[in-house]
Amino acid sequence: MAVTATRRIRIVAGDACLEAELRDTPTARAVWEALPFEAGANTWGEEIYFRIPVSLELEPEARDVVQVGDLGYWPAGQAFCVFFGPTPVSREGEIRPASAVNVFGRIVGDVASLKKVRDGDPVRVERIA
């Protein structure tokens, strides 16, 4: 059985620079193929999101509650989402997107630097390996 190497990406948002690992999902593969891309950040509570050149539907495993550090694709906005805390619709003890997302990766390490990112800050996402 062949071993698939983990795909890693770099996310630079404002002054924050983080790495993430992608899962082996259709959404992760589509995002990988579209890299690199740049956009202006939108913030919604402790979520950063921005439109990307990928158009997909929800996968069967789509989630309406996510974890700190999850990367999600939001089909309704064609958006790449980085979750690092509660959103305005979160209930106590959870992180809830506006609607279901395809979780396709996860930040490696601490997400605290994302709290400094503001609306309009430049965001760049690129392949590492």
Burial of 57 (0-12, 13-18, 19+ CB in 10 A): exposed
Report field, pTM of the whole predicted structure over 0.85? yes
* Amino acid letter for position 80: F
Q: What is the pLDDT of residues 10-20, one digit of tens each?
A: 999 999 999 99
Find where tokens 């899962």 sit: 23
The topology (CATH level 3) of 7-127 is Cyclophilin (2.40.100)
The domain limits of the chain are 7-127
Q: Check residue 28 and report its DSSP letter.
A: H
* 59-76 average pLDDT score: 97
- Residue 75: phi and psi, rounded to 5, are -60, -35
Q: What is the pLDDT of residues 85-129, one digit of tens each?
A: 999 999 999 999 999 999 999 999 999 999 999 999 999 999 997
Q: What is the pLDDT of residue 83?
A: 98
The side-by-side arrangement of strands in the sheet containing 16-22 is 37-40, 122-127, 7-13, 16-22, 102-108, 70-74, 79-83, 47-51, 42-43
